[in-house]
Every structure is written in C-alpha cells, then in structure tokens.
Structure 1
C-alpha cells in the first residue's frame, strides 16, 4: 500500500512545519492496516495523517 497524493503533500507540509520549529522527526510510518501515516517528532509529538489528507495531533 502506498500513501495517497493528499497524504504525501500533507506529510511534507507537516514535516516542514516541524523542522521550522526545530523539532526532530524520529519516525514516519505508513500503517498498512489502516492506510494512515504516523509521524513521531520532538518531545512526544504524535501526528496522524489520514488517507483523505486530514491530520490531527494524537498527543
């Protein structure tokens, strides 16, 4: 399974915003069960990007 184009663009946007705020990105992972992208960054920043391109903070 590959990420959707909406997920790819949103992932780049979110990763750029994180690095602009000097937050390290530790992991970007595609959950093959749900198709969601997961980003782990900084001090316990968890972001979920859904197949539609909508994203949310998990913690």
Structure 2
C-alpha cells in the first residue's frame, strides 16, 4: 500500500497531468522499494518516494 504522502502527491501530479490533457498510462507501486511510478504522455516518467518527494526519470 502506498503511504499517505505518496497518495496525496500522486493525486496532485495526476491532476496536473490531466489539466494539460496528458494521458496517464501506468501508475504502479514497486513492491521491492515501496516507490510509486507514473508513466504518462510521450516520455514522462515520475518516481514518487515513500516520503512524498518525487523526481522525473
């Protein structure tokens, strides 16, 4: 299960992507590290860490 911080950050990032009409293809929790991954648009890859910070890959 994602943490509360991850969940909130995921919703914020997804909303930002949707507002720019960018399709979101995958939202996946890596069970080994506990990080969330978003794949969207042509080449947007985002990793959300357990504490809610995120980065582009």
In which range does the TM-score fall when normalised by the shorter chain?
Answer: over 0.9
Normalised by the length of structure 2, the TM-score is 0.98
Give the C-alpha shift of residue 51 in structure 1. Answer: 0.1
Q: Which runs of 5+ in 1 are unaligned?
A: none
Q: Does structure 1 residue 10 correspond to structure 2 residue 9?
A: yes
SS of the residue corresponding to residue 26 of structure 2 reads strand
Compute the RMSD of aligned alpha carbons: 0.3
* Aligned equivalents of 1:3, 1:30: Cα separation in 2: 7
Normalised by the length of structure 1, the TM-score is 0.95
SS of the residue corresponding to residue 8 of structure 1 reads helix
Runs of 4+ in structure 1 deviating by more than 3 angstroms, as ranges, are none
Q: Which runs of 5+ in 2 are unaligned?
A: none
Task: Note the alpha carbon deviations across 1:15-43, whole angstroms, 9 max, x for none.
Answer: 00000011000000000000000000001
SS of the residue corresponding to residue 3 of structure 1 reads coil
